[in-house]
Structure 1
Amino acid sequence: MDVAFIDDDETLRAANVQSLVLAGLAVTPYPSAVAALDELDADFPGVVVSDIRMPRVDGLELFRRLKRLDPDLPVILITGHGDIAMAVDAMREGAYDFVAKPFAVDRLIGSIRHALEKRRLVLENRALRRAAETASEDLPLIGTTPVMERLRQTLHQVADADVDVLVEGETGAGKDVVANALHRWSHRAARPFVAVNCGALPETVIESELFGHEPGAFTGAQRKRVGRFEHAHGGTLFLDEIEAMSPALQVKLLRVLEAREITPLGTNEVRRVDVRMVAATKTDLPSLVRQGTFREDLYYRLHVVAVRVPPLRERREDVPLLFGHFLARAAKRFRREPPPLNATVRMRLEQHDWPGNVRELVHYAERVALGLDGGEAQPAAPGPAPQGTLPERVDAYEASLIREALAAAQGDVRSAIAALGLPRKTFYDKLRRHGIDQTRYRPA
């Protein structure tokens, strides 16, 4: 984030700016309040520090104009001894702080850092509210990270093609959302989308569920049942946890996929089905093929097009956006206003590994909406042990922090530098060393 520093005294302005830059702050100096007002707006991602005594527009008038622009913009006033009473009155009106001359630079730096933290929370809350207003159930696969952009692009490319798709991803990553998107973005959108969790159905009923049965086909089959394949005719059949299918059922599924024909239990009648199938798995199917528990021919039949849904830990920059959407949805469901994002919630969003992925984030948003979470910091779940030598681990961690800072700042270098507390030259040196392109983090 930035510090806008305003002082008409060139010598004092230069000295204070130098002190703030040496402290790792990104500073933009202005020689007058008029010059600052020409550039500052309600989205300024930082703090304003201004001397009070200036010609034309003084610091108090500057503060009042900025307050009309954005009541939450922190303004710190630098006062002479005779201006302390005015500064106190300004604080009653909403100024963040005042620093009386002569002052220790550490006093000013401390006040700026606290104000920056407050500003960061305000802007993050605004961003979450904007995300909540724009996101809806019709916006699947929320995220702006490169991996999510590539996933959406791939889905758009194959959605309208009559090709079966294998969706791979961890539990809770959103494989069902991907399957639904493939259906809604295809020419089959007006026809049924039928979902079946293969792992949730007992072996004794899954064949009937998929292919249907006629009356008397087995004990208890008193009425005809239309199977899921037939029900999905013209649309999409989503088979989740495909790895849970028995070898015998895998054979029958392979036959259906190759011929697009089913034979319900209790009849010899062959029925044609026009179905686009999307299968999903949370396990490594090639390893199951090697173990002999999953048919190799079925795997390759499903693997014509395969897409992988990344876990949340691989797209941490998307977590606040997703959280804002889920928080607004939960608040609407519970008929209450979405609570503001505090430091504890923000810390969890940034540091937690989310082993339960999107599903875990949804439940966390619901607890926050109900006021049941967010008061105390929760320890992050332990991740896998890092690999490599100690210098390699340190480099990897440093690179991840830089990427997170750039993502949070939407590619704004000054904001990232301020958040990291690095000198500008050091920051650019680290970008080159880690091969990080800061332009990738700017909004499209």
Structure 2
Amino acid sequence: MSEQTPVLIVDDDPDMRAALRQWMGLAGFRPIEVETARQALSKLSSGFEGCVVSDVMLKGEDGLQLMRQVSDIDAEIPVILITGHGDVPMAVDAMRSGAYDFVEKPFDPDRIAEVVWRGVDKRRLVLENRSLHRSLEDSSSLESRLLGNSPAMKTLRERLLHFAKTDAAVLINGETGTGKEVIAQALHGFSLRNKGPFVAINAAALPETMVEAELFGHEAGAFTGADKMRQGRIEQADGGVLFLDEIVSMPISLQAKLLRVLQEKEVDRVGGRKPVRVDLRLVSAANEDPRKAVAEQRLREDLLFRLNTIEIFVPPLRERGSDVQLLFDTFLNRFAAHYDLERPILSSQDEAFLRTYHWPGNVRELRNAAERFVLNAGVGAQALEVLVTGPQAGVSNPSGGNLRELMDAYERTVISNALTRHRGRINLVMEELGLPRRTLNEKMARLEIRRSDGVLEETEG
């Protein structure tokens, strides 16, 4: 803690204030002295960086009243109470009510310094966690919502900002776990409809018998159990954005009804006699090729034409390069703050696995891995690969060996994965890894890497 960290001393005894001022100064803090609770409260705010040291017995008000008033300002400002011998039971009750600690008179200066050090250290963590939450969750910037410095993510953010200002229907296409709902929320947040509702529904998560009533609503008496009128999700999204995830899973029988909503801008409730006007923007998502679904007659072609006025493709995590490290570090910080734990450090083996694993579950899997890594760090930390793929997998990189062997193992994995990803197209591997042809050939020869049988030939020129 810096020597500028403030400690607010509250005591109506000038001799005790002088002693505490000296001890706090010697301990490296910046003492602030006041005589009364009222004076103390005027020095505090939710951004106060230190802690409060107060006598239990004050003129006019006692330390317990002060503690409650401090809690009204910020419940996480540590309040340390100084008590006389007869005040100990009261101090114990105070701790149950939220006091950080108490020190009984007469006390050793080192003892109170130790308690204050712990208090201000806790306060520092509280303020750091709040700052982290603000930057990661409360920030309105698109970069904070869609993290990544890869060209694919920069292009995605540019396209999203451009399309957000329109009311055209958007179809988001990407693998499971790539963050399609996050993109839909960003389209809403940066649009002119951001004051309206954002209503999300997963078409694959509802039984077919419930989808119609869930989407379109129903009138009282429309079916058994419908004892009163209920708005559907489409009506609830009036004035805002309706997000339909896994749109291909919507029953084909309801797709014509959804198409009519988009064409006529009105919805027919189940059992209703009169359509209800709606004004919304539809954003949908698919984790498979919607054109394939049309060919297989699982998705109406005319509905697809209404859905994909704008089509956004979300790149899988394995194609985003160093974004994996950036995202993982961000998740580590977030979960360390959330669980009030120390942020764990990755070993060289963990870092190698992080960069070479394909992450089939994409960002969702990476986020889960970071949470598990944080929680396991303090109880017999396990290798990241074991947490992700299970104990039977072992760790892909050698646990022993010199630096050269570790680097060779890492390079072998990176180049082999790139070759597989690009189906043997050497020119694309060169571009991804930033290597000239000669260097790549030398590394492949030294590491005994060969192109797989049946891969596509490289494109010349």
Q: TM-score range by the shorter chain?
A: 0.5 to 0.7
1:267 to 252, 267, 272: 272
1:256–1:262 contact (8 Å) kept in structure 2:
yes
1:210–1:227 contact (8 Å) kept in structure 2:
yes
Cα deviation, residue 320, structure 1: 1.0
Cα deviation, residue 385, structure 1: 8.3
Cα deviation, residue 399, structure 1: 4.3
After TM superposition, the structure 1 = structure 2 runs for residues 283-298 of structure 1, keeping only pairs within 5 Å, are: 283-298=288-303
Does 2:323 align with 1:322? no
Cα deviation, residue 388, structure 1: 8.5
**Deviations, residues 278-311 of structure 1 (Å, cap 9, x unaligned):** 0000011111111122101001111110001100
1:400 to 421, 432, 453: 432
Tell me how far apart the structure 1 counterparts of residues 153 and 431 of structure 2 sit (CA, whole Å): 20
Does 2:195 align with 1:190? yes
Does 2:136 align with 1:136? yes
Stretch moving more, 167-176 or 312-321: 312-321
1:376/1:333 Cα in 2 relative to 1: closer, same or farther (>3 Å)? Answer: closer
1:254–1:298 contact (8 Å) kept in structure 2:
yes
1:252/1:383 Cα in 2 relative to 1: closer, same or farther (>3 Å)? Answer: farther
After TM superposition, the structure 1 = structure 2 runs for residues 225-264 of structure 1, keeping only pairs within 5 Å, are: 225-264=230-269
Residue 363 of structure 1 corresponds to: 368
Structure possessing the higher radius of gyration over alpha carbons = 2
After TM superposition, the structure 1 = structure 2 runs for residues 15-26 of structure 1, keeping only pairs within 5 Å, are: none
1:279 to 276, 284, 288: 284
Aligned amino acid, residue 317 of structure 1: S
Aligned amino acid, residue 375 of structure 1: A
Residue 177 of structure 2 corresponds to: 172
1:387/1:182 Cα in 2 relative to 1: closer, same or farther (>3 Å)? Answer: closer
Aligned residues: 279
Does 2:383 align with 1:375? yes
1:269/1:198 Cα in 2 relative to 1: closer, same or farther (>3 Å)? Answer: same
1:355/1:376 Cα in 2 relative to 1: closer, same or farther (>3 Å)? Answer: closer
TM-score by length of structure 1 reads 0.58
1:386 to 404, 414, 420: 420
Cα deviation, residue 341, structure 1: 2.7
Tell me how far apart the structure 1 counterparts of residues 329 and 428 of structure 2 sit (CA, whole Å): 29
Aligned amino acid, residue 432 of structure 2: S
1:241–1:282 contact (8 Å) kept in structure 2:
yes
Tell me how far apart the structure 1 counterparts of residues 200 and 283 of structure 2 sit (CA, whole Å): 9
Does 2:204 align with 1:215? no
1:271/1:198 Cα in 2 relative to 1: closer, same or farther (>3 Å)? Answer: same
1:237–1:276 contact (8 Å) kept in structure 2:
yes
Aligned amino acid, residue 383 of structure 2: G
1:344–1:374 contact (8 Å) kept in structure 2:
no
Cα deviation, residue 343, structure 1: 1.2
Aligned amino acid, residue 285 of structure 2: A
Cα deviation, residue 193, structure 1: 0.5
1:359/1:257 Cα in 2 relative to 1: closer, same or farther (>3 Å)? Answer: same
1:376/1:144 Cα in 2 relative to 1: closer, same or farther (>3 Å)? Answer: closer
Cα deviation, residue 325, structure 1: 1.3
Q: Secondary structure at the match of 2:376?
A: coil
2:203–2:246 contact (8 Å) kept in structure 1:
yes
CA RMSD of aligned residues (A): 3.2
**Deviations, residues 255-283 of structure 1 (Å, cap 9, x unaligned):** 00111100111111111111111000001
Percent identity, aligned pairs only, is: 43
1:170–1:283 contact (8 Å) kept in structure 2:
yes
Cα deviation, residue 141, structure 1: 1.1
**Deviations, residues 45-87 of structure 1 (Å, cap 9, x unaligned):** xxxxxxxxxxxxxxxxxxxxxxxxxxxxxxxxxxxxxxxxxxx
Cα deviation, residue 383, structure 1: 7.1
Tell me how far apart the structure 2 counterparts of residues 264 and 299 of structure 1 sit (CA, whole Å): 23
Cα deviation, residue 395, structure 1: 5.4
1:133/1:216 Cα in 2 relative to 1: closer, same or farther (>3 Å)? Answer: closer
Which of structures 1 and 2 has the larger relative contact order (alpha carbons within 8 angstroms, sep 6+)? 1
2:219–2:269 contact (8 Å) kept in structure 1:
yes
Aligned amino acid, residue 386 of structure 1: T
1:388/1:285 Cα in 2 relative to 1: closer, same or farther (>3 Å)? Answer: closer
Does 2:229 align with 1:224? yes
Tell me how far apart the structure 1 counterparts of residues 249 and 285 of structure 2 sit (CA, whole Å): 11
Cα deviation, residue 339, structure 1: 1.1
Aligned amino acid, residue 334 of structure 2: R
Tell me how far apart the structure 1 counterparts of residues 364 and 459 of structure 2 sit (CA, whole Å): 33
**Deviations, residues 195-223 of structure 1 (Å, cap 9, x unaligned):** 00000011101111111111110011112
Q: Which runs of 5+ in 1 are unaligned?
A: 1-128, 406-415, 421-432, 436-444
2:219–2:228 contact (8 Å) kept in structure 1:
yes
2:419–2:429 contact (8 Å) kept in structure 1:
no
Cα deviation, residue 317, structure 1: 1.5
TM-score by length of structure 2 reads 0.56
Tell me how far apart the structure 2 counterparts of residues 165 and 232 of structure 1 sit (CA, whole Å): 15
